[in-house]
């Protein structure tokens, strides 16, 4: 018996190839010429020659929100001219560094403050925020992992 499973036409597969030594590495997204340099702070065994994996994970959250918001804005016919994000995240490093078994190795809380220049009405803007957070895969990754994710979006007129 043969099983022929076809993925949905809307499913995109992302790949990364990475090489490194110590804690530093270079990751290369499949199908791209980009290289992502990764290191960490000396306190975690690195040389601080590139952002840490934690920094990339947090940057992915705000940048994915920006990309998804632009997709949603196009669908509803509003303009999003510029974005400013400020993010704060709390991470107990005792699990990663010391192997603590009585704590969580996940972020306990992430707070995102966004200011967006837009022509959206207050109602459109509120709907845009909700729809962006629902559709953003990185927001969903954070939320579904149990992180307390708080976000405040403020609209500034164009």
Per-residue pLDDT tens digits for 35-78: 999 999 999 999 999 999 999 999 999 999 999 999 999 999 99
Beta strand residue intervals within 30-147, DSSP E: 36-38, 80-91, 107-118
CA-closest candidate to residue 46, choices 24, 75, 69, 73: 24
pLDDT tens digits, 95-139: 988 899 998 889 999 999 999 999 999 999 999 999 999 999 999
Q: What is the mean pLDDT of residues 144-155?
A: 97
Beta-bridge partners for 115 = 84, 154
The DSSP code for 86 is E
Model pLDDT, residue 1: 47
pTM of the model: 0.91
């Amino acid at each position: 018996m043969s099983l022929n499973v076809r993925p949905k036409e809307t499913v995109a597969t992302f790949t990364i190839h990475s090489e490194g030594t110590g804690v530093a590495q270079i990751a290369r997204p499949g199908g791209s010429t980009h290289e992502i340099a990764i290191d960490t702070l000396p306190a975690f065994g690195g040389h601080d020659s590139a952002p840490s994996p934690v920094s990339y994970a947090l940057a992915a959250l705000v940048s994915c929100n920006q990309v998804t918001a632009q997709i949603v804005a196009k669908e509803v016919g509003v303009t999003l001219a510029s974005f400013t994000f400020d993010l704060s995240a709390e991470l107990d490093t005792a699990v990663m560094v010391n192997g603590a078994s009585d704590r969580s190795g996940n972020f306990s809380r992430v707070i995102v403050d966004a200011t967006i220049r837009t022509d959206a009405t207050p109602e459109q803007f509120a709907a845009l925020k909700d729809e962006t957070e629902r559709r953003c895969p990185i927001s969903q990754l954070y939320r579904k992992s149990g992180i307390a994710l708080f976000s405040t979006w403020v609209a500034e007129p164009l």
